[in-house]
Amino acid sequence: MKSNLLQYLFAFTLIGVFALPNKLQAQDKVQPSQKASVSQFIGNDTQITFTYSRPGVKGRKIYGAIVPYGMEAGNNYSDNKPFPWRAGANANTTIEINNDVLIEGKALPKGKYSIHTIPGEKEWVVIFNKVNDAWGSYKYDESQDALRVTVASEKAPHMEWLTYGFGDITDNSTVAYLHWEKLKVPFKIELAK
């Protein structure tokens, strides 16, 4: 009995010794598209926060290639249904707003939303969807859209890593934007009246 117990203890010790380096190595692995977050306040207390993963250009053609115009073709992950671009990498890009706002003049209630886009050569559809915890846009469900706005994209200086930010800040509004490669996709956010 004592011999069996010692054998089990020895076996578990060996498993632990061989598994520990793999576990430590997995913890050290850095994702190629690292997570980021950026916030901006407007008014007295309205906070807007983007959380996203930042893919790099890495010498690739982005728009019309890595990010196709229109909906992406369906695949095994999307049950072969076309889907919008996730507006980042990895898990859903999200926007969280603690008060009701207007985006491009249209009402968006406070909450946390995933952001998806339908890129175009001159105009983009920016989608705010109630499902905010998915991986990518593969299981995107249009019936869960809280808001869609259409905005004009703009040429911009090269940005290697996808970035969300804020500009044109006033007391009650800001222009949020996605900036990647040589393109910006701006949309105005203002306090709801």
DSSP code per residue over 119-139: --SSEEEEEEES--SSBTTTT
- For position 143, what pLDDT does the model report? 97
According to DSSP, residue 94 is labeled: E
- For position 69, what pLDDT does the model report? 96
| Average pLDDT in the chain | 89
Q: What is the pTM of this model?
A: 0.83
Which one has a higher pLDDT value, 187 or 83?
A: 187
Give the number of other CB atoms < 10 A from CB of residue 77: 13
Burial class of residue 33 (count of CB atoms within 10 Å of its CB; 0-12, 13-18, 19+): middle
Which one has a higher pLDDT value, 75 or 104?
A: 104
- Mean pLDDT score, 130-145: 93
Name the band, by pLDDT with cuts 50, 70 and 90, for residue 20: very low
- For position 49, what pLDDT does the model report? 98
pLDDT in tens, 29-77: 777 789 999 999 999 999 999 999 999 999 999 999 999 999 988 888 8
Residues 90 and 100: their CA atoms lie apart, in Å, by 28
Burial class of residue 102 (count of CB atoms within 10 Å of its CB; 0-12, 13-18, 19+): middle
What angle (nearest 5°) sits at the alpha carbon of residue 106, between those of residues 105 and 107? 125
What are the residues whose beta carbons fall under 8 Å from the beta carbon of 18, sequence distance 6 or more? none
Beta bridge partners of 68: none
Domain ranges (residues) in the chain: 1-30, 31-191
